Structure 1
């Protein structure tokens, strides 16, 4: 009989901790992602959330093609991702890409999206910075209230480079597109001797169309 009582008690204890955990999650202070000037931004016990679902419109497969040059980008929204080092949660955009020239794949990391990675930074496209038109790279023809998204983009064979990609969503004649600008966002300090300081995907602007 004592063993039976202990088992029942343990079930109640387990239920108690599960409920406490859920209540703890709900108690997270929500900080809008677009409000990166908030004093609570990326602070412990907060949830930096994509409250306006800016990331939702970027999800999917996007393709740029100019002659025999093709760039494919796949993006997914990742919600409530836990950043253990600073004890906060956040929403992110993650992705992978392929770059093909004259039928030769110079880069293809798309399969990584099918396998959970050990951390968000293990994806080759990741981040969550939402910015307005005046944040560099400046967008002169963006609307006053238009938002863009800045992400990190890595070349897996040149991980010493510091690169970013800024995305602008637009609809032209009923077709969904993103204007993607890939650029060098910092100075790479530890460049191996004789190594290039350029990504295999050339820096510049690409207009990609949403794929079915």
Structure 2
């Protein structure tokens, strides 16, 4: 949880003369003290809402929200950034509910405590390459955790597809992957419980 110290730091930061706003996509590899990395292109904002995938018994339901001007402070660096966070429900193909933390969407002051968290902006040419994306289309990569396997390093790539004149409703395409660098604590389960290496289409509710 972020303590009153966080509130004091945020106040002092906001009063600072260093208030330069930089597009969020420029953050990675170039973090600067006192900068506000802003979702200027609404890459995060357009993902806000409740999204649902259903296929027979299998269900993936995600709720995403955007936090503006979230304070990040470590070592001698402090900056603000817009970030995406959320919770989810997953019921596998055997009709077994694996995770359901949707009720926690307002549970934390520190949004990094949510199971879904992040703001990495990916261009179409970033690996994995999006071959059917438009040249200027962007995706967002976030971390996603399995609360019963929190030692696994999962990431989720999200592509937003607006409603089409053909009648196709607004939706997102998600792909969950696990880092090859993950380590399994001795004696802990090593099975994957999330739908990995598949593209799932979730429609806005």
Q: TM-score, normalization: structure 2?
A: 0.83
Gap regions ≥5 residues in structure 2:
1-10
CA distances 1:110-150 after superposition (whole Å, capped 9, x unpaired) = 11112124x33311000001111111121111111100000
The answer to which structure has the higher helix fraction is 1
Secondary structure in 1 aligned to 2:170?
strand
**Aligned equivalent of 2:195, options 195, 198, 202:** 202
1:109: Cα distance to partner? Answer: 0.9
CA RMSD of aligned residues (A): 2.1
Q: Is the 8 A contact 1:74 1:96 kept in 2?
A: yes
- Partner residue in 2 for 1:151: 142
Partners of 1:20 and 1:64 in 2: how far apart? 43
1:5-41, Cα deviation, whole Å (9 max, x unpaired): xxxxxxxxxxxxxx987542x6322221122466xx3
> Take 1:181 and 1:159, find their aligned partners in 2: how far apart are those partners?
19
CA contact (8 A) 1:81 1:89 kept: yes
Structure 1 segments of 4 or more deviating over 6 A?
none
Partner of 1:187: 181
Aligned-partner SS, 1:57: helix
Within 5 Å, which residues of 2 pair with 1:64-103? 64-85=53-74, 86-101=77-92, 103=95
Residue correspondence of structure 1 range 1-150 to structure 2 within 5 A: 22-24=14-16, 27-36=18-27, 41-85=30-74, 86-101=77-92, 103-117=95-109, 119-150=110-141
CA distance in 1, matches of 2:124, 2:190: 31
- Tell me if structure 2 keeps the 8 A contact 1:59–1:74: yes
2:151 maps to which residue? 160
Query: After superposition, what is the alpha-carbon deviation per residue over 1:21-68, rounded to whole angstroms, capped at 9, x for unaligned?
Result: 7542x6322221122466xx3322111111111111100000000001
Distance 2:24 2:179 in 1: 21
CA contact (8 A) 1:95 1:126 kept: yes
Unaligned 5+ residue runs, structure 1?
A: 1-18
Q: Deviations over 1:149-184 (max 9, x none)?
A: 000011011011011000001134251100000011
Considering Cα pairs closer than 8 Å and 6+ residues apart, tell me whether 1 or 2 has the greater RCO.
Answer: 2
**How many residues end up aligned between the 2 structures?**
188
Q: Distance in 1 between matches of 2:37 and 2:48?
A: 19
Larger Rg, first or second structure (1 or 2):
1
Cα contact 1:191–1:197 (8 A) shared by 2:
no
